């Protein structure tokens, strides 16, 4: 699962800085830009997302049919089976840039919050669609079973797209969902805030 991630604009990360600068320029003086979040990103927040040539703003989470909650994740194992994701997997892929994502370990009634990343910008695989009720497209983050070194924290993690697959992912090239299970990016973790 991926329920929160972080976009660190204060760090010396040229990739994050370039993405945010491009979004600021593209959406200058618009209500959409006023909605953009950086720092800790929560479901229903508007954030920078890559769909091809230039970053765009999107809101995290598909509306559910009952409008009670949002669908924020899609399991890699069932992308081709679930009607909600089948066609999107073929033509509406995106990458969600992040400095790291958060996951919580639950042990003996205690929750520990971990920041998980690679020491540089990571790109989380996502799918997007348009919804009439939203002013910007909406996205979900694709998840897969957790890498062995972080499985003790949580049994799922976002599918992180390595540099070798990014162009094909965004360009609509043929991709087997099994390719999302490969760990092209080595993930590291550190204890974050005590509980949040």
Per-residue confidence in pLDDT tens, the chain, 196 aa: 789 999 999 877 899 999 999 999 999 999 999 999 999 999 999 999 999 878 999 999 999 877 678 999 999 999 989 999 999 998 899 999 999 999 998 888 888 999 999 989 999 999 999 998 888 999 999 999 988 888 889 999 999 998 888 888 998 778 877 777 775 677 788 888 654 4
Q: Within 13 A of 181's CA, how many CA atoms are on the CB side?
A: 9
**Parallel, antiparallel, or unpaired for β 55-60 and 46-50?**
antiparallel
Q: Do the beta carbons of residue 129 and residue 88 sit within 8 Å?
A: yes
Mind listing the domains of the chain with CATH numbers? 5-191 (3.90.1680.10)
Query: Whole-prediction pTM value?
Result: 0.92
Q: What confidence score (pLDDT) does residue 196 get?
A: 47
Q: What confidence score (pLDDT) does residue 184 get?
A: 61
Q: What confidence score (pLDDT) does residue 17 get?
A: 93
Q: What confidence score (pLDDT) does residue 173 get?
A: 74
* The three-state (H, E, C) secondary structure of 112-142, written as one string: EEEEEEEEEEEEEEEEEECCCCCCCCEEEEE
Alpha-carbon dihedral angle through residues 108, 112, 118, 124, given to the nearest 10 degrees: 90
H or E segment and range at residue 156: strand 156-158
């Amino acid at each position: 699962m991926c329920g929160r991630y972080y976009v660190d604009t204060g760090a010396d990360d040229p990739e994050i800085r370039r993405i945010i600068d491009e979004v600021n320029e593209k959406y200058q003086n618009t209500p959409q830009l006023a909605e953009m979040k950086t720092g800790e990103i929560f479901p229903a927040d508007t954030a920078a997302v890559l769909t091809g040539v230039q970053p765009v703003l999107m809101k995290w989470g598909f509306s559910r049919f009952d409008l009670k909650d949002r669908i924020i994740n899609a399991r890699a194992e069932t992308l081709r089976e679930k009607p909600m994701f089948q066609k999107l997997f073929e033509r509406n892929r995106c990458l969600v840039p992040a400095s790291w994502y958060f996951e919580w370990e639950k042990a003996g009634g205690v929750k520990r919050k971990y920041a998980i990343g690679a020491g540089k910008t990571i790109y989380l695989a996502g799918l997007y669609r348009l919804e009439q009720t939203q002013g910007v497209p909406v996205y979900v983050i694709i998840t897969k079973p957790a890498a062995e070194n972080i499985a003790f924290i949580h049994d799922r993690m976002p599918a992180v797209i390595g540099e070798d697959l990014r162009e094909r992912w965004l360009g609509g090239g043929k991709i087997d969902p099994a390719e999302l299970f490969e760990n092209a990016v080595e993930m590291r973790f550190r204890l974050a805030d005590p509980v949040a």
